Structure 1
Amino acid sequence: MASSSPQTVLVDDYKELLICIICFGTLTDPKSITCGHSFCKGCIGKWMREHKAKGNNRYPCPVCNERLEIPKNGADAYGTNITIKSMVEILENQLTKGQNRNVNCDICIQEGEAVPAMSRCVECAEHMCKPCNKAHRRSRATQSHTIYDLTGDAEKDARAALDNYIKRNIECPKHPDQPLRFFCKQDKAVICRDCSITEHPGHNCQAIEEAAKGEERNIAALLGLATQRKEMFDKFIQAANDSIQSCERNTQALLQDIDADHAAKKKQLDEHFDKLRNKAKAAANEKKKKIQANQDQFQLNKGITESTLLQLNNLRKYNHPVDVLNYSANVLKKLEEWSTMPEENVVPIDPYFYQLGSLDTSSAGKVQHHCDPKISRKVHLPDQNPGVKYIFGITRGFNNNIVVSHSGKGLATYTADSFTLQHKAQGNFNDVCRIQSQYYAAADQNNDCIAVFDKKLEHQKNIGKFEDPQGLCETADGKLLVVGYDAKCVYLIDCNHGNVLATIGEGKLTSPHYVTINHKGIIFVSDVSDNCVKRFTMQGEEAPGAYGSEGAGIGQLNYPEGVCIDSQDNLIIADHNNHRVHMVDPNGTFIKYLLVAEDDVKKPQCVAIDQQGDLIVGSYYGDLAIIKYIE
């Protein structure tokens, strides 16, 4: 099995090559299996026997998992990896020697003489003193060996041995003292001179240096491919890491939303039960007041009765007949009044009772997740509303309707389920959106203003004055964002009179078309000339994280148009000329396509979210599609 080696910086430099992945020790008698990976002979032999014992005739490589056939001779069938074996020997030998300050000549030590070594032969793996070195170089058998001088630094000497390894002669296992010099092309074998004469006569043999150069081209090509694969896997790993971090951020945001909703619902629940408690206490107090009033009256009447009773007893016992006769009128009156006994006048209790309720969680919040997007409904609106052609703007309407801007053909509302035409308004409008929970605002191209309509598309008023108004979006506090195409900016206006409250993106937009805003107040503007969606704060500052560049790949856009924000603050973009719809997370990272060219919704122009959280996509050519992407 594997043996341990000194844990030094030098060994660490080569440990990926010299460590057996099975036993995690330094390779011993390393065998290279068919896929090219090397293991200790004992380790890979045991690995194959374990799989064979399970009735398998193949075994997986412990590194790459490639399934290889188990050879009859087991590990002996594989060739020894001479390079790795030699490296192990060089390192362990040199570093072990280096533990002693004085490295002695291996030849002299056999004669019992401790002579300091001055050099080392790579082939013989022997340290030599100066005289032995001289003799070694003169000997016919060893004069071609590679010898290098020792510095006295074990690590430097070991590195020198490794650097000189490529120059060493490797002896033929069949003919000792004969170096391997040739490569037999016919038998694909490295051979010595004697082998070429005795076992490979007449075969096409070439010098190993020449044959190796031919293989170097393949090695260089494979090295290039390996480098490319590594770079690709680095990108994949980084992308996976980015996805993990995005998932963690999403999860934290999700948990925060759940906790916030839980706290809000708990507050509502506490308020509800506090009202029940207060109501029960108020009812009980009211009843107790009535009973207490009766009790006070009873106490008063009792006192009157007791006073009368005391007078009557005194009258009978001590009073003169004259007093009795003078009091007789009062006695007769009381006899008449008191002949009827008083009634209790009980205040009915009518006890309250508590009716247990059930907590209906069906209307409570729920966690939603993205599913594979699919078109649940689709219609060509000119079939429903003859004469219209284009769709330039869409918004979620009232009463589960969809409101569509047909550019020069005005506005129209359609039912969300069957796309039945309901109401129409004449005019030339770009985008449309809901405002103030009861009106629609439309970008009036003819009058360069914002036209306001009621739920039945009856015109109410015009507000503001803008240079070619395009996209529209209402803010959380009831204001309106208006894209001024010619002014190359976005206006923040009030919805009552159209007064401009702020100008956003001035000098930083080229061809702005559509606008939306997320729950954190970040404004997104599609810029068709720059093929991106830019981000701005409500204070008008450009925020980092603009999405898109020109092209057709992931994260690239070709004439981006409509934008909207979904319930999870994801940005949705109509990639007009690529016939796609992108979904991007709040940090500007691409998530997925919600629509692709194969879905046959050509030139997506505008996007919006309906009451169910599904995506509405309107195309330039009049197609309207409902895409379910959240469950």
Structure 2
Amino acid sequence: MGHDCLRIKTAAEKRKEKIELLVRHTVKKSLLYDQFKTAAEDQKKSIEKGRNKAKSLLNNQMRLVMQMVRQRAEDLLADIDAKSNVKLEVLNALIATATAEQKQLDDFVDFSRKLINHGNDMDVLQMAATCEQSSESVQTLNIPTMSAALTQLQLITNDMEKCVTNINSCLGDVVPAVSGRLVTSFNVELTESPVEIISHVTTDANGDTLIGIWCNGDYSRNRVHIYDTNFVLQGTISNPWAAENKAFAGIAVDDDGNIVTRCQTSNEIIVYTKTGDQVRTFHSESPQAVAVNSKGHYVVAGHNTLTVYHKDGTVLQTTPDPEAKYVKYIHCNVNDDVIVTDPGDDHIRVYDSSLQFKYKYGSKGDGNGQVNGPLGTCCLDFGDIILTDRKNHRLHLVSPDGKFKQFLLSEDNGLFNPRDVSINHLGKLVVAEQRGEIKFFEL
């Protein structure tokens, strides 16, 4: 009887311990909800503040535009009056001259007819020479002419499309107002010899941050670190081909919460749980980058192809994609557009959800719309693209149709060699820098 009681007590204690672990896990998850709600409320306040500020600015811009239009119209009206008056003065002078010269002609005609009709022979003989001289004089008169400059005025307007474009440019555009405020950061420890760098960053629904580490001198060191919301390292996924020194890299999170990676030299996509257990692998020819679209399909940028796979490895569609000098990056937006970064040719290529090419953005340089070593991308809710511009130490904001909008962050905000970007569950912009600094900015 005593032994039975002891066994029951022992079993109960073990179950209590197990339940306590479950409670702790649940409490931890509940705290994540608190964090999210607090951040969401902060975002709501920020959005309302931004709304009011943007509306006020737009109303001011509209008043300025109307004021400029009104002033320009008044200037044009005054100009029309002034130029018309000058032309009228010239015409009045010409009319006066014509009237005076016409009177000379009429006077000659009247005098001559009187002489012809009423003069006696002696009068005619005496006045004939005078009439002939007067005739010669009036015949030399030149009838006034009007030059082309004295024709009617017209208002010449610019092309309406250009006018609309100028008004649009004057009024501005609605873009995310990145505060540039660094919220927090943490550092990933990397070795100097051989040199390790950060290659990728992404986040999952729980707020965990996943970091890809790359070692060009020793692929066996390539790995994925998983950090919790307090930036405590929770686990590492090591290169499964470390012994063969194969190029393992890439991070995407699928709709099951699994981590999708690739190995270019072993020609495969490898899927893991967050605890590092391998879920599945399947063949993919020379994969360089992998993303997950809204349907849960894997989109893979290969050496010279772009392919959409079912998560079980079935090919759903494929299309050619130009070869790249360096390893590509890839991302899918909310509309399942596919963004492929070509670092060697300094641009991104964007395809629609059916893999039809849409546009290219970028060229080598440091001006607006120019990049130098572009790498990772992420997207905002409305489709705007955030693009890393590594060697220029900045981030571009690109419209959904491929137009440059603005630089979101730059060296002035402390950026140095940004390689990848992501937006976490709290709406913070996560920037991974090459030498291990992971920075979180207010969006």
SS in 1 for 2:89: helix
* Residues 88-136 of structure 1 deviation map (CA, whole Å, 9 limit, x = unaligned): 54x21343478x7x97253675999599xxxxxxxxxxxxx9948979x
- 1:448 aligned residue: 267
User: Shift of residue 419 of structure 1?
Assistant: 2.0
Pair 1:372 & 2:372 matched: no
Pair 1:566 & 2:375 matched: no
Name the aligned partner's letter for residue 106 of structure 1: A
Name the aligned partner's letter for residue 282 of structure 2: I
User: Shift of residue 482 of structure 1?
Assistant: 1.3
Of 436, 450, 456, which aligns to 2:255? 436
RMSD (Å) for aligned C-alpha atoms: 4.2
C-alpha distance in structure 2 between counterparts of 1:592 and 1:423, whole Å: 37
Name the aligned partner's letter for residue 419 of structure 2: Q
User: Shift of residue 235 of structure 1?
Assistant: 9.2
SS in 2 for 1:492: strand
Name the aligned partner's letter for residue 392 of structure 2: N
The 3 A distance-change label for structure 1 pair 131 and 613 is farther
**For the Cα contact (< 8 Å) 2:300–2:306, is it kept in 1?**
yes
The within-5 A match list for 1:451-466 is: 451-466=270-285
Q: How many residues align?
A: 327
SS in 1 for 2:321: coil
The 3 A distance-change label for structure 1 pair 495 and 108 is closer
C-alpha distance in structure 1 between counterparts of 2:170 and 2:256, whole Å: 38
The 3 A distance-change label for structure 1 pair 509 and 523 is farther
- 1:596 aligned residue: 410
Name the aligned partner's letter for residue 403 of structure 1: L
- 1:529 aligned residue: 344
TM-score normalized with structure 2 length? 0.62
**For the Cα contact (< 8 Å) 1:433–1:473, is it kept in 2?**
yes
C-alpha distance in structure 2 between counterparts of 1:157 and 1:237, whole Å: 31
C-alpha distance in structure 2 between counterparts of 1:453 and 1:425, whole Å: 8
Name the aligned partner's letter for residue 426 of structure 1: S
Of 405, 408, 421, which aligns to 2:233? 421
Of 158, 168, 187, which aligns to 1:241? 168
Gap regions ≥5 residues in structure 1: 1-18, 28-83, 116-128, 136-148, 160-230, 251-368
C-alpha distance in structure 2 between counterparts of 1:112 and 1:457, whole Å: 115
C-alpha distance in structure 1 between counterparts of 2:196 and 2:357, whole Å: 36
**For the Cα contact (< 8 Å) 1:573–1:583, is it kept in 2?**
yes
User: Shift of residue 554 of structure 1?
Assistant: 0.7
Of the structure 1 ranges 386-395 and 454-463, higher mean CA displacement relative to structure 2 is found in: 386-395
- 2:88 aligned residue: 92
Of the structure 1 ranges 434-443 and 104-113, higher mean CA displacement relative to structure 2 is found in: 104-113
User: Shift of residue 441 of structure 1?
Assistant: 0.6
Q: Percent identity?
A: 19
User: Shift of residue 616 of structure 1?
Assistant: 1.2
User: Shift of residue 459 of structure 1?
Assistant: 3.0
- 2:198 aligned residue: 391
The 3 A distance-change label for structure 1 pair 461 and 26 is closer
**For the Cα contact (< 8 Å) 1:104–1:114, is it kept in 2?**
no
SS in 2 for 1:577: helix
Please say which structure displays the higher CA radius of gyration: 1
User: Shift of residue 565 of structure 1?
Assistant: 1.5
- 2:397 aligned residue: 583
- 1:411 aligned residue: 224
- 1:325 aligned residue: none
TM-score normalized with structure 1 length? 0.45
Pair 1:473 & 2:308 matched: no
The within-5 A match list for 1:45-64 is: none
The 3 A distance-change label for structure 1 pair 235 and 621 is farther
C-alpha distance in structure 1 between counterparts of 2:324 and 2:236, whole Å: 34
The 3 A distance-change label for structure 1 pair 370 and 245 is closer
C-alpha distance in structure 1 between counterparts of 2:224 and 2:237, whole Å: 5
SS in 2 for 1:477: coil
C-alpha distance in structure 2 between counterparts of 1:477 and 1:21, whole Å: 58
Name the aligned partner's letter for residue 213 of structure 2: H
Of 328, 332, 336, which aligns to 1:513? 328
**For the Cα contact (< 8 Å) 2:209–2:228, is it kept in 1?**
yes
Higher relative contact order (CA 8 A, sep 6+): 2
Name the aligned partner's letter for residue 341 of structure 2: S
SS in 2 for 1:372: coil
**For the Cα contact (< 8 Å) 1:516–1:523, is it kept in 2?**
yes
The within-5 A match list for 1:211-360 is: 238=165, 241=168, 247=174
User: Shift of residue 575 of structure 1?
Assistant: 0.9
The 3 A distance-change label for structure 1 pair 517 and 465 is closer
The 3 A distance-change label for structure 1 pair 410 and 446 is farther
* Residues 496-524 of structure 1 deviation map (CA, whole Å, 9 limit, x = unaligned): 2x233222343586756111122223211
The 3 A distance-change label for structure 1 pair 235 and 104 is closer
User: Shift of residue 609 of structure 1?
Assistant: 1.3
C-alpha distance in structure 2 between counterparts of 1:131 and 1:374, whole Å: 91
Of 533, 538, 542, which aligns to 2:357? 542
The 3 A distance-change label for structure 1 pair 426 and 237 is same
**For the Cα contact (< 8 Å) 2:222–2:249, is it kept in 1?**
no
**For the Cα contact (< 8 Å) 1:105–1:114, is it kept in 2?**
no
